[in-house]
Amino acid sequence: MTTTYTLTDEALGGLVAAQFGPLPPEPAANRVALHQAYALWRDRNVQLSQYPTPLDLAHYFVGELFATDWLAGRTATLLETSAGSGALLEPLAAAIREGMFDATAYEIDPIPCLVGSRLFPQVTWYNRSPETDLAALQGRFDVVVSNPPWRRSVFTGVGELKAAYEFATWDREQLFLALAIDALRVGGRAMVLLPPNCLSQLTQEFWDWLQARCSTYRVLPAPEWSGRWQNEIVATYWERSYD
């Protein structure tokens, strides 16, 4: 029996199948399963905190990270901790293509990960949480860019991060902030997008940990032209000064 999916259904089916495994063979059941699976994926999106950075904001914030020529033309190691389909890599796309970055991206959801790996074939993509490879990531990167998942969720691969960074709460932005700093080598810089109140909620122990590694940091609010984002997101910039 042949199926009569439209191209869109097939494309969506392929993506959903990539995430949930093969769909049942009978076409009518396929359609129901597809709708259910898609609904499940939407729900999971919320759990995963899947909010891609708008591209104009990505250019603005990432541009600020490279406003001075601190990499001095050398090939730099770059980490995107939770890349989605790569919005924060987009401002660096030409440089990545030209081999100026040795870039690594983690993304726990196979769907944006698949899209990202098509858009940025020069980047090494891992369809898993970076916590899986924590020991290998520590102290390795010249540049870290991250718009991490925010808020708490027990389902999204942060248990190892919580164990490694006991001073952080279960709020994922805190855990990914610690990961970003931890992944830097001395002299490296990180840009982490955070909720505006995030830094004021860090414990003294967290601040002590940060200050033992970074002598400076800077906060850049979202610009006025970004509309509602102005009150919803800030960029934080960190330089790793000490081991």
Ligand X SMILES: C[S@@+](CC[C@H](N)C(=O)[O-])C[C@H]1O[C@@H](n2cnc3c(N)ncnc32)[C@H](O)[C@@H]1O
Candidates 7-15, 64-72, 82-90, 230-238: pick the segment binding ligand X (CB under 6 A): 82-90
Distance of alpha carbon 236 from alpha carbon 229, whole angstroms: 15
Nearest distance from C-beta of residue 109 to ligand X, angstroms = 4
Distance of alpha carbon 231 from alpha carbon 226, whole angstroms: 10
Exactly one of 5, 20, 38, 51 binds ligand X (CB under 6 A); which one? 51
Other Cβ atoms closer than 10 A to 50:
19
Under rule CB under 6 A, residue 129 binds ligand X = yes
Candidates 17-25, 28-36, 68-76, 102-110: pick the segment binding ligand X (CB under 6 A): 102-110
Spell out the alpha helix ranges (H) of 21-99.
27-48, 55-65, 93-97
Output phi, psi for 138, to 5 deg. -60, 130
Under rule CB under 6 A, residue 52 binds ligand X = yes
Under rule CB under 6 A, residue 82 binds ligand X = yes
Exactly one of 87, 198, 222, 235 binds ligand X (CB under 6 A); which one? 87
Other Cβ atoms closer than 10 A to 221:
13
| Shorter beta-carbon distance to ligand X: residue 52 or 167 | 52
Output phi, psi for 155, to 5 deg. -100, 0
Under rule CB under 6 A, residue 226 binds ligand X = no
Q: Are 57 and 25 contacting, i.e. CB atoms less than 8 angstroms apart?
A: no
Under rule CB under 6 A, residue 116 binds ligand X = no
Positions in the binding site for ligand X (CB under 6 A): 48-53, 82-84, 87-88, 106-109, 112, 129-130, 147-149, 156-158
